[in-house]
Chains A and B, each alone.
Chain A
Amino acid sequence: MRLKIGAQVVALGVVVGLLGLLVWKITNQDQKQARKNAPAPKFTLPRLDQPGDLSLAALKGKAIVLNFWASWCAPCRDEVPVLERAWDRYRKRGVVVIGVDQQDLSSDARAFARKYGMTYPLVHDGPGEVVAKYGLTGVPETFFVGRSGKLVGEHISGRVSHRELIQGIETAMQS
């Protein structure tokens, strides 16, 4: 009788433990889309274009363009000139364009950056941790962070056009 009760307690413990794991997994999922007007999820990532890290928190007060890309992504190639032009035009006005290379080999990403002449700051998110925080559905994807540190404007899924980029930057500079 005592053995039977013991076995039941163990079985109940296993079921409760598995349920607990399931609840923990569901509540800890970061795959939520980053929302407009919400604070931009913070990150610190290693730089691809130079040694050291880049922290989003260190850029407080600046308008930021966050462009997620990867060297294996064909549309990412096409939008580099658009991003370069915006970086060249707006950097003196306190705008920072950051290229977040994700789920990619850093050696491939560096070769890509050299080949397509990317001069704006580049960081590497190999494991895709920041990708999860922003809830990306694919690459390329572009977000705008206002001077207040909040996400502003509409985030762009897919290749960003010059018009969309300028519109997003202007909104970020004003908020």
Chain B
Amino acid sequence: MRAFAVLLAALVVGVPFAVASEQHPTLHELEGQLMCPTCQTPLDMSESPAANRIRAFIVKRIEAGDTRTEIMDKLVAQFGPGIRAAPPASGFGLLAWVLPLVLLVGGGAVIGVYAWRWSRSREPAPAGGGPAQNGRAPLDPDVERRLEDELARFE
């Protein structure tokens, strides 16, 4: 119930924020999502002439009322997909999003299985039939009987 309430609150707060960001993007937001084409650094870390021209273009498009997607599309049309700081979540670029998740889940599963097997191998054996309590294999019944006889003789 509590998890549902948290999820609902996240949706109530997050969705309008995402919509506002799409409809009314800011220069600061877009700078973080773009690369400077000449210096290959994020746009918000570049002061090159090309980066300044791109910033001026973004400001002009924001003033003209373009959405975030429209501005990104215009820049990709001008500079190619390499201007995006993050690869697109489609085509070959999808690999960059999916592969870490697959490795994380796969790695977690492998570690989980190994941990489970390791913990099972350390569990004590059930009484009778299995290994003795001292960790050694049980003796043969004949040997056991002879050992008992010998011990009885000393007592």
Interface residues of A, Cβ cutoff 8 Å to B:
3, 7, 10, 14, 70-74, 103-108, 126-129
Contact = CB atoms under 8 A, between A and B. Distances in A.
B80 A70 contact: no
A76 B82 CA distance: 24
A70 B53 CA distance: 11
Given A71-B53, A126-B80, 5 more contacts: A72-B53, A105-B57, A126-B78, A128-B37, A128-B79
10 contacts: A72-B50, A74-B49, A103-B38, A103-B50, A104-B53, A106-B78, A126-B77, A126-B80, A127-B81, A128-B37
Q: Is chain B's binding surface mostly helix, strand, loop or mixed?
A: helix
B50 A104 contact: yes
Contacts, number: 43
Task: Classify chain B: how many residues form its interface, as a range.
Answer: 20 to 34
B26 interface: no
A103 B37 contact: yes
Nearest to A17: B99
B57 A72 contact: no
Contacts of B50: 70, 72, 103-104
B110 interface: yes
Interface of B: 37-38, 48-50, 52-54, 57, 77-82, 103, 106, 110, 113, 117
A125 B49 CA distance: 17
Contacts of B49: 72-74
A127 B80 contact: yes
Contacts of A108: 53, 57
A25 to B, nearest CB: 13
Contacts of A70: 50
A103 B79 contact: yes
A127 B82 contact: yes
Interface centre among A10, A70, A107, A127 (most CB of B within 10 A): A127
A126 B54 CA distance: 12
B86 to A, nearest CB: 17
Contacts of A126: 77-80
Contacts of A72: 48-50, 52-53
A70 B37 CA distance: 12
B110 A129 contact: no
Interface centre among A103, A126, A129 (most CB of B within 10 A): A103
A33 to B, nearest CB: 18
B80 A105 contact: no
B112 to A, nearest CB: 12
A29 to B, nearest CB: 14
Contact of A129 (B52, B57, B80, B103): B80
Given A7-B110, A10-B106, A105 B52 contact: no
A52 to B, nearest CB: 17
Contacts of A128: 37, 79-80
Contacts of A105: 53-54, 57, 78
Nearest to B106: A10
